[in-house]
Structure 1
């Protein structure tokens, strides 16, 4: 069954994702696993003939990122390395420049009223996205309701990944996957030349058969799998909330999917009303805590 999506102003291309009959796949035929707390990359397949395949892990103060890049041989190893360098630089720059826990970041300076929201275009874009997601989730995603002031942490990791992905595309890399924890964004094709085959595992029931997706464009965002209860705050009360075990959302853009997942985790089942049958974003998991 194919999922059809409409274009949104957050997506630079409509997602192409197909549900797959899990019985048709052996584990060796999968490329990526999104697990209860992290991701796993299969090592079963070599790059298709005439292709360059690169895997690289980046560690920042807030997250670990894995990037998988594929390019035709004519593109050259040097050009692939330069594209990878640009994406790594973007991830590190977002961490340094926007991290709410860094006292000298733009977000921290904004909290202290040292700069205005429109002082820097990327900061203004980040604030606009947070405001749009507050409206889209009936206030359940609210970066201004976090203790200490404005905190975009609920979507900052996804925003960083999407900015790094944009750097890859600008450098000419159009086949990639960028993963962080149980989140990912993909574009194009995997090393074997076909769509990315992604197994999304249930957040707590590890023996349950995973949801298997074939993806050429799209993202999966998850909230609630860190193992830390109370890390998401109910913006209406200011108190920690844990109505769900975890929430996983599929859509075109990882920053938006992350925000929806965070809001759904906070709101519980009431948040399912945000997702119409023809919407760009859809919940994959939204399970009650027992």
Structure 2
């Protein structure tokens, strides 16, 4: 019998290393694959698009907010991997009736590294996990060298339209913005409630007047008309479409994120 503690502080006990995994989180599906656990993955969400072939070879159990409980139960999983932000309390409570539900809680790069470390211990992939952690550590130190010569810029990071919503403080996205020396005008703004608040774009000038307006590729498909509309409500902000996966996906995705961020800065 082995005991492991997830990022919510829940203790899980296993007689054997879990060998049938259902993942409810796209970034964690990618991380599990990168740790050499493709064969152990039996169920994934319709949003688990990396690597792309998993959607054809694994059972799709729904999305991140709505899952097919019967389908998951039929897969007879040993463990279900969830995330505090991506999945609901109701889903986790339901699925605990089937098997242990491991819940991650990722707000920082260290939290992201801990996910990899935990998966390495949990699934007996410690060597693979350590290799990825080393890659991330090397990439992070290299990026620190790159970014230190860059000037800070005020930004607003939009994730939705109709209504317009942004990433605010206490989010992983906000940590990625800080890493890039992007000062989020909605970071810990007491006028807003929640980590992804609705905002009145007509007030952007008086609420920070960003130099950059970043439009995430997910979860909303922003188009040129959104960029034009948002740009009108700043003084001289540049509106930039960004790949949301590199700002919001944790785990092994970080290795690719550092290179993406460099390219982004070199185009600004």
What TM-score range do you get, normalising by the shorter chain? under 0.3
**Structure holding more helix per residue:** 2
**Structure holding more strand per residue:** 1
Q: Which one has the largest radius of gyration?
A: 2
Give me the TM-score of the superposition, normalised by structure 1.
Answer: 0.26
Larger RCO, structure (CA 8 Å, separation 6 or more)? 1
Give me the TM-score of the superposition, normalised by structure 2.
Answer: 0.28
